[in-house]
Structure 1
Amino acid sequence: MLKNSQFSLLKQRRFFPYFSTQFLGALNDNVFRNGFVTLITFQNISILGIDFTLLANIAAFLFILPFFLFSATAGQLADKYEKSMLMKHIKLLEIFLMSLAALALISQKYYLMLIVLFLMGCQSTLFGPVKYAYIPQKLSTNELVGGNALISSGTYIAIIFGLIIGVESIDLNSNHQIFLAIILIGISCTGYLFSWKIPITEASDPSIRINLNIWKETWNIMRFSREDHSVFISMLCISWFWFVATAITIQVPAYAAVIINGNESTVTILLIAFAVGVGFGSLLCEKLLNSKIELGLVPIASIGMSIFSADLYFAQPQAANNAVESVSAFISYFNNWRILFDLVMLGACGGLNTVPLYALVQRRTHRKYLSRVIAANNILNSLFMVIAVIFCIILLKINFSIPELFLCIAILNVGVAIYIYSLLPECLTHLFKLFRKF
């Protein structure tokens, strides 16, 4: 096995086609999602009388909801059937959905865009358990941190490109929507071709009988996932990061428009800063942990999440009274670099937090049940993201400003982190071991 560098995995057939398949799927999701949110924000679009600030939160809710509803079924399917075959079928579904997304973009039917967002959430729900359960079937234990780091960083690189393509292509006075529609379909077709190169794996548990009662199976999977205490608490830690990330990133378009007085380019650079941070933090994990599955970085990352979330409150954008019409105009003010730094570091803390936790879940869960445990994790993630959306809507409705919302998240994160780490003391044990190394 090549273990000197996580990047060596990208040269191997057992990993690269799988990596490319999930990368292109994440790219398509973000091209459409961010393009839609940017469109409704900067064209001041309302649907059924709902303004763009709340629509951004509703759009996030519609994409997240299927993870809560259908993850249990997705986990059963991923354990029952061979994973490369499942990925082929899921990517074929993506081609259909991207065709529908293209139709929605070209026709500018905003209600149809919301429906497509929900359906794209369903497709991503099916892919999630397969995506993470495939890794331990093809990678050795000492490759899990590096493999997860590549997947996490690759996802956020896809987000960066998705932002650039989606946000910059939204222009109602041009034919860019047609070009964007072609890109959506082209990327989904390319991902489908890559899925045919993914090596065959053994089905984890072919004897499973699929339970179509989603509520009962969701309850069963959540109860099953609690059998290993460290795995369940790790899942809670991952889900809490998604609460923080969701609460902050879905406010970015409105933050750029209302607080910074910026435009679509401002949204792009702010979200790219966060995505670059997650990618950087994820890739740093293997180096800092020496490919070992340890949780010493998790408490450090949690502290950082609070520090940099709070600083987004204290950082005052410069020239907010003047329109910021380009990236060069935004970065020409020194204090705006502080905002970018906060977002990069917040993202980096997220990468340092989640990569070792995902590796622990994969390592300590029996392979026969791993897809269902990953599904349980996705259910928790989606639940926390939905709670984050509701939390943000409530605070905005009672006239909290967006910076005040960021400060609330920072304070809340401190309390949650203390509680979670009291339930998983090995985080602190590994932290002391990490300090001794340095």
Structure 2
Amino acid sequence: MAQDKPNESPATGTPPDSAAAIPAGAQPVQGPGPVTHSQFGLLRQRRFLPYFTVQALGAFNDNVYRQAIIGLLFFLGISSEERTLYTNLAPALFILPYFLFSAIAGQIAERMEKQRLIVITTAMEIAIMSLAAIGFLTQNMTVLLVALFCTGVQSTLFGPVKYSILPAVLKPEELTGGNGLVEMGTSISILVGMIYGGLVFQVAGTWGPEAAAASVVALAVAGNLVARTIPRVDAGAPELKVRWNPIPESWAIWKLTRRQLAVRNAILGVSWFWFVGTVLTAQLPTYAEINLGAPERSTSLYIFALALFSVGVGIGSLLCEKLSMRTVEIGLVPLGAFGMSACMLDLYLARSGAAPATGLAIAEFLAAHGGWRIAADLTGIGFFAGLFIVPLFALIQSRTPRGELSRVIAGLNIQNAAFIVAAAVLGVAVQRLLGWSIPQVFLALAIANAVVAIYIFTIVPEFLMRLLSWMLVRALYRLRVHGVEEYVPDEGPGLIVCNHVSYMDALILAASVPRPVRFVMYHRIFEIPVLRWIFRTAKAIPIAPEKEDPALMQRAFDEIDRTLADGGLVAIFPEGRLTADGDIAPFRAGVERILARRPVQVVPMALRGMWASMWSRKDSRMRRARLPRRFRAHVEVVAAAPVDGTSASAANLEARVRELRGDRA
């Protein structure tokens, strides 16, 4: 039977059994204001609420305007052929500026103070919507389409600042919650804007053009007034020289998005989200009529289906903060991806042919066979899409240097536009050229989504590794965290020291700290087949005792120092081995060796409740092999104020950790 050693490790106190977290990357700057303990608390703070309101009003107004144009076509009695021409031309005019001007917009957003830029873009919206109002009042489609193109230009300028502002005003532990609110707000604003824009001509009757004109101008003015209350947010790269030639700059910005593998593939994931969303939502009007049984020329079931999807996105986006425990938890991305595929597959299976009856109202559709199942699938697709998209945006923001983020977002917008166009073209092509039904399109999309997800996660296995860690921690423990948000530095180097109780300690800490952490582990554990790819992916630092492999030990200290020099977090367990009796063993001198070389601040942490949980050494080996005695144990992670690295010693750090842990081993 194998010995419990090699739990012994060198002087650093490195745990051989530790897993590791995602590697450190560029961190966002600390925003003003206190940390909120709920994402909804952000809606009470000036650093977030005005920005959130502006972006929601912008999304709302864009969709009111586009739907009001369609309403005007019916109001004027234009033939179905002309309506089809306009409805196909409108999205093309809106998205064209993203190709033409995103590179310039990204540079401007990088160079300018962000609040000023938002005020400028919302002022542009007032001018554009005033032109649109003239188009409605004169019932001139040419003017309306010109204004729509200008709206695309304005959205292109606003796009890079929409997401690059978040790391400047939110702390790392607030990024997931903030992005969740933004995605929820955008999704609901789009839905409500489409409903309002579609109803304005029906409700106002002969005053429809006047009502549409007044609505879009009033919303633009409201957005500009709110934008003026956003606090000042410094430019990311004020010294940047704007280059106005869009073609070479688009190429340069696209290359900027590919510098880091994880960011590159997160951007690919976001663009794929837009591809899936475009294919899905583009089919909903016809799907509602043919497959759901909606009355001819009625939009009630279409709006209902769109509402289910949008509400699902909103719920999934908001739930990300709770599921991730306020960290940038990319383990939710695979869960979201495969959940989307499962729901789309079930949507096909629920009804692969035409509706059994036509002319159905919403209540009649739900009462019909499979109605509730289809509704659940549409909501589920949106829900898992929210779990998919929010961590990707948070990852892009947290790992991209602040001086490049606006340009990276601009590059993302260019790629998104390309994916949206490809989705629209492909959706039409497979139906007209291959004769696919809409349920068959959904089936193909489910399969393609799974294939793309597997491709991304194979290239960057960090996503799947984080999913496994996330599932293990939340399945096996009930975790509470105290002081971590307050005391772990938002950016810059830091060393975390903690007591060592079980084989799950590193995963527990990784799930509790909002920043990426690199853990150190005994090299023989690091090289275990099968597990080795997880450790390498997580960039764990292997180490050996000096008497066993002095060269490896030196390389480990060099790597620790390099990580700290790059502004990352490193976590060690200075006891050097798992506790055998529940008590904290003396801290070894390795921590002093690290601090002598680079005296960074040290964050003491303590694990409480782990001794009585599974995978500790409380029981004999035979008893540990049986069903765990404390499944879903209550576990706490407690942090204290950082200690200055110039004065920290193994003894006083041990005393701090003992005090934090108290008598709850």
Q: Deviations over 1:218-243 (max 9, x none)?
A: 00011122111111111001110110
Partner of 1:94: 125
Are 2:358 and 1:322 aligned? yes
Aligned letter for 1:14?
Answer: R
Partner of 1:420: 456
Are 2:467 and 1:434 aligned? no
Unaligned runs of 5+ in 2: 1-33, 476-665
Partner of 2:226: 194
In the aligned structure 2, how far is the partner of 1:312 from the partner of 1:282? 21
For residue 307 of structure 1, the aligned residue among 342, 349, 361 is 342
TM-score (norm 2): 0.62
Q: How far apart are residue 247 of structure 1 and its match?
A: 0.9
In the aligned structure 2, how far is the partner of 1:132 from the partner of 1:279? 17
For residue 59 of structure 2, the aligned residue among 1, 17, 26 is 26
Cα distance, 1:46–1:358 mapped onto 2, change above 3 Å: farther
Q: How does 1:364-383 map to 2 (within 5 A)?
A: 364-383=399-418
Partner of 1:12: 45
Which 10-residue stretch deviates more, 221-230 or 398-407?
398-407
In the aligned structure 1, how far is the partner of 2:443 from the partner of 2:78? 28
Cα distance, 1:100–1:256 mapped onto 2, change above 3 Å: farther
Please give the secondary structure, in 2, of the residue aligned with 1:13.
coil
Q: How far apart are residue 115 of structure 1 and its match?
A: 3.6
Q: How does 1:178-193 map to 2 (within 5 A)?
A: 178-193=210-225
In the aligned structure 2, how far is the partner of 1:375 from the partner of 1:280? 27
Q: How far apart are residue 176 of structure 1 and its match?
A: 3.2
Is the contact between residue 60 and residue 250 of structure 1 (CA under 8 Å) also seen in structure 2?
no
Is the contact between residue 41 and residue 253 of structure 1 (CA under 8 Å) also seen in structure 2?
no
More strand by share: 2
Q: How far apart are residue 391 of structure 1 and its match?
A: 0.8
Is the contact between residue 168 and residue 265 of structure 1 (CA under 8 Å) also seen in structure 2?
no
Q: How far apart are residue 164 of structure 1 and its match?
A: 2.2
Partner of 2:441: 405
In the aligned structure 2, how far is the partner of 1:256 from the partner of 1:113? 29
Cα distance, 1:321–1:328 mapped onto 2, change above 3 Å: closer
Which 10-residue stretch deviates more, 164-173 or 85-94?
164-173
Partner of 2:200: 169
For residue 274 of structure 1, the aligned residue among 297, 309, 325 is 309
Is the contact between residue 290 and residue 354 of structure 2 (CA under 8 Å) also seen in structure 1?
no
In the aligned structure 2, how far is the partner of 1:382 from the partner of 1:144? 25
Partner of 1:336: 371
- Matched pairs, number: 435
Are 2:92 and 1:61 aligned? yes
Q: How far apart are residue 378 of structure 1 and its match?
A: 1.1
Q: Deviations over 1:233-276 (max 9, x none)?
A: 11001110110001111222232344433312222211111110
Q: How does 1:40-55 map to 2 (within 5 A)?
A: 49=81, 52=84
Partner of 1:345: 380
Q: Deviations over 1:275-307 (max 9, x none)?
A: 101110000000000011121111111111112
Is the contact between residue 282 and residue 348 of structure 1 (CA under 8 Å) also seen in structure 2?
yes
In the aligned structure 1, how far is the partner of 2:356 from the partner of 2:236? 55
Partner of 1:131: 162
Larger Cα Rg: Structure 1 or Structure 2? 2
In the aligned structure 2, how far is the partner of 1:248 from the partner of 1:106? 34
| Superposed CA RMSD | 2.4
In the aligned structure 2, how far is the partner of 1:120 from the partner of 1:253? 24
Cα distance, 1:242–1:71 mapped onto 2, change above 3 Å: same
In the aligned structure 2, how far is the partner of 1:209 from the partner of 1:4? 39
Is the contact between residue 191 and residue 306 of structure 2 (CA under 8 Å) also seen in structure 1?
yes
Cα distance, 1:42–1:241 mapped onto 2, change above 3 Å: farther
Aligned letter for 1:310?
Answer: L
Aligned letter for 1:287?
Answer: K
Partner of 2:148: 117
Please give the secondary structure, in 2, of the residue aligned with 1:175.
helix
Is the contact between residue 68 and residue 212 of structure 2 (CA under 8 Å) also seen in structure 1?
no
Is the contact between residue 187 and residue 313 of structure 2 (CA under 8 Å) also seen in structure 1?
yes
Are 2:282 and 1:246 aligned? no
TM-score (norm 1): 0.92
Cα distance, 1:407–1:297 mapped onto 2, change above 3 Å: same
In the aligned structure 2, how far is the partner of 1:266 from the partner of 1:96? 35
Partner of 1:225: 257
Q: Deviations over 1:19-56 (max 9, x none)?
A: 11111001101212244457769999558x4663x765
In the aligned structure 1, how far is the partner of 2:348 from the partner of 2:129? 37
More helix by share: 1
In the aligned structure 2, how far is the partner of 1:402 from the partner of 1:114? 30
Is the contact between residue 101 and residue 113 of structure 1 (CA under 8 Å) also seen in structure 2?
yes
Cα distance, 1:237–1:11 mapped onto 2, change above 3 Å: same
In the aligned structure 1, how far is the partner of 2:135 from the partner of 2:416? 28
Aligned letter for 1:279?
Answer: G
In the aligned structure 1, how far is the partner of 2:280 from the partner of 2:143? 26
Aligned letter for 1:87?
Answer: I
Q: How does 1:134-153 map to 2 (within 5 A)?
A: 134-153=165-184
Cα distance, 1:232–1:363 mapped onto 2, change above 3 Å: same
Please give the secondary structure, in 2, of the residue aligned with 1:205.
coil
Which 10-residue stretch deviates more, 111-120 or 407-416?
111-120
In the aligned structure 2, how far is the partner of 1:334 from the partner of 1:351? 28
In the aligned structure 2, how far is the partner of 1:328 from the partner of 1:270? 13
For residue 319 of structure 2, the aligned residue among 284, 305, 324 is 284
Partner of 1:216: 248
In the aligned structure 2, how far is the partner of 1:42 from the partner of 1:412? 40
Is the contact between residue 65 and residue 197 of structure 2 (CA under 8 Å) also seen in structure 1?
yes
Partner of 1:265: 300
Q: How does 1:383-398 map to 2 (within 5 A)?
A: 383-398=418-433
